[in-house]
Structure 1
């Protein structure tokens, strides 16, 4: 047997023993909490795994954690998603399809539409998303988000991602763009979003998928459950010309090279001036706000909980739940991915404030809370394995389909 093969098999056995021990522990609700793993276990070059048991007033929570060394040229991070914005899939499927070494689920998303009978939930995420340097979507208005209330001073435009410099960071991505028509220039209010600002126009591209675009005109900037708009209009543009118009937003896949512009209220009134054959130019980009104007290689929407090593003010310290988080450390060269276990012995979870403290204790200087509950999932594929394994117990008993996640990638050592 070749030495390299033998080493990989030993690493795989060691990793799987740790995984089995962690998973068996979740079924022992009456047993005392297991001690934290004394050391990190190697998954692949630059990626390590461990579990941590966290006592709290609500009971013991078990955290499953992946640590990635982005300073290692072989290691990178990217967005896991089903290929379009408005679609969902199990995290393990997304990870295997992308060839990821590990990952966690990502952003909160449009999971239900009980407030709008007859309108289908799109499954699209709340915040901005960037994949391979390409902007997929922008953020919905703050009042339209799903998930816990945001801390003061934060918004739906905030993301965790990796810049073109290879460093992880938490920042803010805002949409910049316009729709130029023979009758004037309209500011662009949305990009592949399940909710558009009142009175705006929004752009939908091939990246949206085939889900109905009606949901984008429901609710208001401050109230998600507000009725759908009664004043809408949709324009389809191909080759810089209007090729179709409609009174209501449509559905179905959008062809490459085709753009669909949806307007509501004042935006709809402006679009209604257009006719087939009119010239229209649409431009858009996601721009980083603040003093860090770096271009993002990948980004996923997140709820900030830790900044500069300190938990944000106003974090909920009462409601405990199974949660997912991601954080950065080492000046952006370390990326921490965490998912709590949803097994019977640990289902009480942590509060958002406790989660922030845990991320700080693990070495993160900045962190975001991601979608939790039945969505919380962490997967890894150690050296020698062909598929990822789910290392925590999803609280619903099986993986919940999610719209995106954070993937870790490791180039083969031979490369």
Structure 2
């Protein structure tokens, strides 16, 4: 919802309402504006597409964006609906139960309405003082559910009765005519919240008459407008006035299915008093029409309509924004949703752009460029940020899946969306498909299932128990649709259903398929009894990336005692000199350095206490309170912890970062922390607010370092948080000044404004210095077996003397050189592999193979190791280029010095 909506009630999500934002921001801030054109969309690359149903294609793109000197890549997904299809059609999906004052996730809307795909829709009000309802108008199946508000520059998307798409400014007209057939009063809206009109800045409920139908699932109407005292409500059933409330006493009921409720204030209330009586037949006229005189369409010939935000594309060109875009973080790189259509009006595009890991989001100016490259002739912006959702039914499947990756990792409940539907009959079987990974790793369990679709690309119902599975190669075992891979290679998985057969080629990745492996530990300090969470990022040479659980690898510990069980390293003997952890997949190894450490408790508020206080920013505008409490949220009754409560509901939305601080000590810089801590740990009771959690450290240079403890507080209950300090560039000693909850200006509508967190057991972890690797110096001479080690003469023994091969590369005996420099050698006769381990460096090389693995990365040398008389000789360049060992050559004496 960005900054044009709010969500905030006590301990529930809240954002500033669109209407409140209008009240709080100066008028000039809302003038139409343009985002900075500092970036260029250089390409939009189609990565794949899939039929959803007849007439509907899901297309996946990657947009390549140049932003100054950097290149960004954003995943874009498009539902392309063929408007000439006799079966595919669009309609508006509303909140839970199909009402406009409730919310639901897009996935649940699609499921509830029988759609096959959908995206989120209009921006909406979620202020605690008003009902949740769309800002724009809604028409579903030809019925007006809400009317457009009188707010400038808010475009709508609609489909006419003859199936033509429209994007335009639409407005509302209506009236209520008394029984005399002459006396009438202007009707100002259908099922709308209180808001401030534009451009005249009037309270929408003052002196106006509003209609509420059964789509308004609330007993409250006009909340937040401060107009109840001057309001009369009229219950109308089947066109006849059934009840008129006393002034200032609204009807305590929801509108009926067979009628409506009129809310009349001021002049409108006077009209009711003077012209309406119980039992009178009255006439209601309500219609949505084009705002411009050059268009004649109205709700009479519109079957579907949904409100949106600014215009983006007009006549195939970038359009000036029709309203200020700061309220939707328009110049920031966020998740986006848009609707557009082609020049020939035969294709409607439902578009989302992701802001998530691996996808960089986009500004509205970038979105405009993308839409043009996608072929949009006209397009508008819809609700985005955390609201952006695209769901669809995979080909051949019946379940609805979230197709995009949401900005906050959750499926936000929104007020409406656009659903994609099909009326296609049951067709003949057309195809089968096997769903599941096409690249797998050894010892990985992968689930497969057979799906099918008919001639209209709708799913066939297939009993998985009737599927016969077989494979072309015995690379694993298959049972109940689950493949357990035990050998490398390529296999063809065959599924047979009756007379239908479908095949899928599966590649079992081996060492040669991997580009890199990186161990991902939750922290790197070894202490007895501690647990370190482990996973491994594997990048394949085909560009695919997987983060796999630790159980997929063989593990080895060196320098400390520990055991990897499941996905956790349990440290049993930390030692005092640190160590390394090695992960092995089919001979591809990677290494992670770990430091022996000790922990010091700074505060547990029970046995070790520090002075604490609270503060808020902006000061005087927000509130924060800290209190030390016994038995907080499940802790033992005698266990004290600090509770930090905050209220960020006041002040302007989206203008500044808001924060609630827990301050430590009386010194302005906080409490002094001795030594050189490498990590910080603490227990946090979360409030699921999605706010950020930070620690503020001041180092000896006076530099304030803000340490990320959690990008989102997305949990409740207690959780141990650990933060690595080694990458912060700290100048020791340091002080712990504050721990705080931050609600940044950008995306402020995405997070709770009120909440409370608990803080306990704050400690720092220290690294015990490990002895430095030996700094030996080795001098070799080409063609000679005599060497110098730290100035002492030695001999290569049975190893060949260093020599220059035919490519001009100097070859040296790897075992002798490595051991002389303080490393160790591992030799595998079966695979002809030599492993070099020195400190935290690890390399694996194979005889006569130029590809080698150095510190978890596959690299290619210009010369391969060779075996001579039982000794492995390697190119000297490997040691300098990949190990960063210092090497010098004296051409006069033909000596090589390594150190």
Task: Bin the TM-score by the shorter chain.
Answer: 0.7 to 0.9
User: Which residue of structure 2 aligns with residue 203 of structure 1?
Assistant: 211
- The Cα shift of 1:52 comes to 2.3
Superposition map of 1:248-287 within 5 A: 248-250=249-251, 252-273=253-274, 274-287=276-289
Quick one: distance in 1 between partners of 2:387 and 2:46? 25
Change (3 A) 1:228 1:361: farther
User: Which residue of structure 1 aligns with residue 134 of structure 2?
Assistant: 125
Q: SS of the counterpart of 1:363? A: coil
Q: SS of the counterpart of 1:318? A: coil
User: Which residue of structure 2 aligns with residue 238 of structure 1?
Assistant: 237
Structure 1 position 400 matched with structure 2 position 412: yes
Structure 1 position 345 matched with structure 2 position 358: yes
Quick one: distance in 2 between partners of 1:138 and 1:360? 30
Change (3 A) 1:251 1:62: farther
Contact 1:229 1:265 in 2 (8 A): no
- Give the one of 44, 57, 61 matched to 2:53: 44
Structure showing greater radius of gyration is 2
Change (3 A) 1:297 1:280: closer
User: Which residue of structure 1 aligns with residue 101 of structure 2?
Assistant: 86
CA RMSD for the aligned pairs?
2.6
Contact 1:122 1:211 in 2 (8 A): no
Contact 1:213 1:251 in 2 (8 A): no
User: Which residue of structure 1 aligns with residue 175 of structure 2?
Assistant: 178
- The Cα shift of 1:134 comes to 1.1
User: Which residue of structure 2 aligns with residue 103 of structure 1?
Assistant: 118
User: Which residue of structure 1 aligns with residue 295 of structure 2?
Assistant: 291
- The Cα shift of 1:229 comes to 6.5
Contact 2:336 2:382 in 1 (8 A): yes
Residue-by-residue CA offset, 1:143-194 (whole Å, 9 max, x unaligned): xxxxxxxxxxx633x3112111112221343322211236931010111111
Quick one: distance in 2 between partners of 1:248 and 1:326? 42
- The Cα shift of 1:202 comes to 0.7
Residue-by-residue CA offset, 1:178-218 (whole Å, 9 max, x unaligned): 11236931010111111335421011111222252132x62
Quick one: distance in 2 between partners of 1:126 and 1:136? 12
- Give the one of 101, 124, 127 matched to 1:112: 127
Contact 1:214 1:250 in 2 (8 A): no
Quick one: distance in 2 between partners of 1:338 and 1:182? 48
TM-score, normalization: structure 1? 0.78
User: Which residue of structure 1 aligns with residue 649 of structure 2?
Assistant: none
Contact 1:87 1:403 in 2 (8 A): yes
Quick one: distance in 1 between partners of 2:140 and 2:111? 17
Change (3 A) 1:74 1:213: same
Contact 1:100 1:410 in 2 (8 A): yes
Change (3 A) 1:378 1:167: same
User: After TM superposition, what 4+ stretches of structure 1 lie above 6 angstroms from structure 2?
Assistant: none
Residue-by-residue CA offset, 1:271-315 (whole Å, 9 max, x unaligned): 344554455332222234542526111110012211111122147
Change (3 A) 1:188 1:56: farther
- The Cα shift of 1:242 comes to 4.0
Which has the larger share of strand? 2
Residue-by-residue CA offset, 1:325-377 (whole Å, 9 max, x unaligned): 0100142210111112232333x522222212211110110001111111100
Contact 1:192 1:203 in 2 (8 A): yes
Quick one: distance in 1 between partners of 2:354 and 2:79? 14
Structure 1 position 192 matched with structure 2 position 201: no
Which of 176-185 and 201-210 deviates more? Answer: 176-185
Structure 1 position 381 matched with structure 2 position 393: yes
Quick one: distance in 2 between partners of 1:136 and 1:278? 25
Which has the larger share of helix? 1
Change (3 A) 1:308 1:249: farther
Change (3 A) 1:387 1:211: farther
Quick one: distance in 1 between partners of 2:369 and 2:166? 18
Change (3 A) 1:39 1:400: closer
- The Cα shift of 1:407 comes to 1.2
Quick one: distance in 1 between partners of 2:60 and 2:219? 38
Structure 1 position 135 matched with structure 2 position 144: yes
Structure 1 alignment gaps of length 5 or more? 1-33, 114-118, 143-153, 219-226
Which of 191-200 and 391-400 deviates more? Answer: 191-200
- Give the one of 291, 308, 317 matched to 1:310: 317
Contact 1:214 1:248 in 2 (8 A): no
Quick one: distance in 2 between partners of 1:177 and 1:35? 45
Contact 1:321 1:373 in 2 (8 A): yes
